[in-house]
Structure 1
């Protein structure tokens, strides 16, 4: 073996031996001679309790309007009148803009006059047919002429309506993009209209949770614009396919937005309940001691004479964190007394005294106070 490899293997062995010694030293049995005469350390401690938690996934998504469109006209023309203001809330059918359409209105009047004349001719020829003054072919031609003229009237009425922009649904208008007297080409975006109540929150869920998704499951939505505030909603639709690229399924939640705080396009964080509720041993997160070789906590136990307490460091496996608490999946039992502050002063076997006079408040759903 080459000399550099020998040096490398010696270094690895030294590091492994050092790590083993550290773990062995820290996890030595309580009451070891090394700490037999150590003074008692003052710590804060709490009893490990059980809590029922609903498993929740934190996902990212985007807010979408239940109905939304960039409004435009399918004909060109000059803006004759504007009947709205930017940011205004309008009802479905409200006129918003009118293009100059005198020539189209005049043509409509001409076609209506022709249709009325054809109706008169048909009525007269029907009376004439009764006395054999005209033939049946003449009446048939009159009927065809009347139907054709009436169809032309409907066609022109539709064309005239194209020169008027109306709100297709109730919602809030955005910023106006046109001005009075401006020439508009067909398809020019005039203003955006968004229905804000309710709103949709679209997000993606990994396919392994597809079987647990159900319409009606509650969700909580948070956005950066309102820190510390959540908006309640429920799953309203689950896509019928999984995206082939990401292997995620698209899910849509519906949430009420009566005050219009939320708007489409916002980046959202979605908390989705998945599966049945579970019970966990929970601790304040301050109780956890993070080490390179794993997470530990200090448990306080009575001394053999029953007159004092001694710290015992034990490995724990952690689960989901929620607020100021964290779930412990193994390594700790309900009812054990765990140090939540002052662990830096402890080693395995250190005598301890509990003083909870300055223990911080812990909450499942903490909020930032001003």
Structure 2
């Protein structure tokens, strides 16, 4: 016998243990099936589990009131910022720089002299042309008097007048050559980095600097041709940039290109963004949202929605004898943006829907609500806080 126990004793102990575990599990199952008072059942949202409380009293929940909110048909795109006006400062003639009248980052006014090229030879030619013109104009004046007194012929007067006109034209040409050696700001703006120095030889096309008017920003972006109806002139857009993640820049569509790109099947759209503080700079990449078809619609917080395979549901708070209860309501939603959802069917203005505590309630169950939310636009309403 001792040998048999040593041989089969461990297996016997294991078998007895498994038997005890089986008895405990079967006993608990029978107890639950006989209607134990503390047993709870679970069902997915929307299942009909009857009315009545859940054995644990009315749970605390948070609710929000449906209100009217502004929705738009959003269209997303990427855009590139450009200055309202922008030029590259470059000389018209090949010569050395005599003087630079600006420094990097300077704000300049329209007509201000920025660059002066060497013009010693042109100044001498200008002085010679001015002297010749003065002499020719004086001679014309004398012959005009002689002609009026009858001492000069018409032919001689015409010859003198032609010579005076020629000298005046040479004077104007000399002035134009000198003007070509002076670069002035064609508009007010900010000068970029200076890339040349006094005494440096420059040719036409060589860059001395840049000038940008950034009081407004032109924002160009492409949209599919199928969305052309949404991007008409005057439609509001909002833009964001990674450089200023906490800011939103608002503008409007100014122009839509007259042609669709046959390769990409997109059309170029240009919006104008005010830039009074000049934080936006040419070349920035911005994300664009076109806000077309603005409308007022019934809205609820998006967190109140229970998305199921057969549709969207919410728990609506209703008045019952002795307190508040909830009903499961099927709704039809539209746009969702900024944490709010557009409600097309199923709710009315003023209805209250559960936003927190959804998992602890079931249809027909009494609930205890927190304090009313702060008044204001639905997008800014705070969730209710339960009472202490």
Q: TM-score range by the shorter chain?
A: 0.7 to 0.9
Question: CA 1:307 to 1:174, structure 2 compared with 1: closer, same or farther past 3 Å?
Answer: closer
Aligned to 1:63: 81
Question: CA 1:51 to 1:240, structure 2 compared with 1: closer, same or farther past 3 Å?
Answer: same
Question: Counterparts of 2:282 and 2:178 in 1: how far apart (Å)?
Answer: 33
Question: CA 1:37 to 1:59, structure 2 compared with 1: closer, same or farther past 3 Å?
Answer: closer
Q: CA deviation at 1:257?
A: 2.5
Matched, 1:30 2:14: no
Aligned to 1:289: 306
Question: Match for 1:160 among 178, 192, 196?
Answer: 178
SS at match of 1:66: strand
Question: CA 1:263 to 1:204, structure 2 compared with 1: closer, same or farther past 3 Å?
Answer: same
Question: Counterparts of 1:257 and 1:237 in 2: how far apart (Å)?
Answer: 18
SS at match of 1:169: coil
Aligned to 2:35: none
Structure 2, unmatched stretches of 5+, are: 1-42, 382-388
Q: CA deviation at 1:78?
A: 1.0
Question: CA 1:345 to 1:181, structure 2 compared with 1: closer, same or farther past 3 Å?
Answer: same
SS at match of 1:115: helix
Alignment of 1:294-313 (within 5 A): 296-300=312-316, 309=325, 312=328
Matched, 1:339 2:354: yes
Q: CA deviation at 1:321?
A: 2.5
SS at match of 1:258: coil
Question: Counterparts of 1:275 and 1:103 in 2: how far apart (Å)?
Answer: 65
Question: Match for 1:268 among 261, 266, 286?
Answer: 286
Matched residue pairs, number?
A: 337
Question: Match for 2:272 among 254, 258, 270?
Answer: 254
8 Å contact 1:30–1:311 — kept in the other structure? no
Aligned to 2:370: 356
Question: Counterparts of 2:195 and 2:84 in 1: how far apart (Å)?
Answer: 23
Question: Match for 2:99 among 81, 88, 106?
Answer: 81
Question: CA 1:360 to 1:284, structure 2 compared with 1: closer, same or farther past 3 Å?
Answer: farther
Q: CA deviation at 1:52?
A: 3.5
Q: CA deviation at 1:116?
A: 2.2
Q: TM-score, normalised by structure 2?
A: 0.72
Structure 1, unmatched stretches of 5+, are: 1-23
Could you say which structure has the larger radius of gyration?
Answer: 2
Question: Counterparts of 1:305 and 1:128 in 2: how far apart (Å)?
Answer: 120
Question: Counterparts of 1:234 and 1:364 in 2: how far apart (Å)?
Answer: 23
Question: Counterparts of 1:84 and 1:304 in 2: how far apart (Å)?
Answer: 78
Question: Counterparts of 1:37 and 1:128 in 2: how far apart (Å)?
Answer: 123
Q: CA deviation at 1:356?
A: 2.9
Question: CA 1:40 to 1:333, structure 2 compared with 1: closer, same or farther past 3 Å?
Answer: farther
SS at match of 1:55: strand
8 Å contact 1:44–1:359 — kept in the other structure? no
SS at match of 1:97: strand
Q: CA deviation at 1:126?
A: 4.4
Question: Counterparts of 2:373 and 2:62 in 1: how far apart (Å)?
Answer: 8
Question: CA 1:123 to 1:335, structure 2 compared with 1: closer, same or farther past 3 Å?
Answer: closer
Q: CA deviation at 1:199?
A: 2.9
Q: CA deviation at 1:73?
A: 1.4
Alignment of 1:315-326 (within 5 A): 316-326=331-341
Mean alpha-carbon deviation: is it higher for 296-305 or for 328-337? 296-305
Q: CA deviation at 1:54?
A: 4.0
Aligned to 2:162: 144
